[in-house]
Amino acid sequence: MPKAIYFVSYKLKKGADIPEFLLAAKKLNDGYISKRKGYISWEQLVDGQTWADAITFETMGDVEKFEQESGTPDELAQNFYSFINLNSCKGHKFSVEISH
């Protein structure tokens, strides 16, 4: 089965402290996301004011299970989300067609 990516783009809240945001992301990854079934990696991308998370899993089923399990954010996720303008979020689930 091909790998799958949970991809979300967003903007941070005005005045968000970037080092604190990145620390919150690391804590969320280490304490929750990296422990999910099929987790491979999490890349955080930035282009000006737009950020994106690309979280790679072994299968689309793993992505869907992660999405379901993340429906009620724990303290780590709530801290991470506190930096994000939630109205700016756009999420997608992608299957990896080919890797070079």
Rounded to two decimals, the pTM is 0.93
Mean pLDDT of 96-100: 92
Q: What is the chain's mean pLDDT, rounded? A: 96
Q: Does residue 43 surpass a pLDDT of 80? A: yes
User: What domains, with CATH codes, occur in the chain?
Assistant: 4-95 (3.30.70.100)
| Pairing relationship of beta strands 4-12 and 50-57 according to DSSP bridges | antiparallel
pLDDT value of position 2: 86
Which residues make Cβ contacts (< 8 Å) with residue 84, sequence separation at least 6?
Answer: 10, 11, 12, 13, 16
Q: Which two tokens stand for residue 88?
A: 């700016």
Kindly report, residue by residue over 52-95, the tens digit of the pLDDT.
Answer: 999 999 999 999 999 999 888 999 999 999 999 999 999 999 99
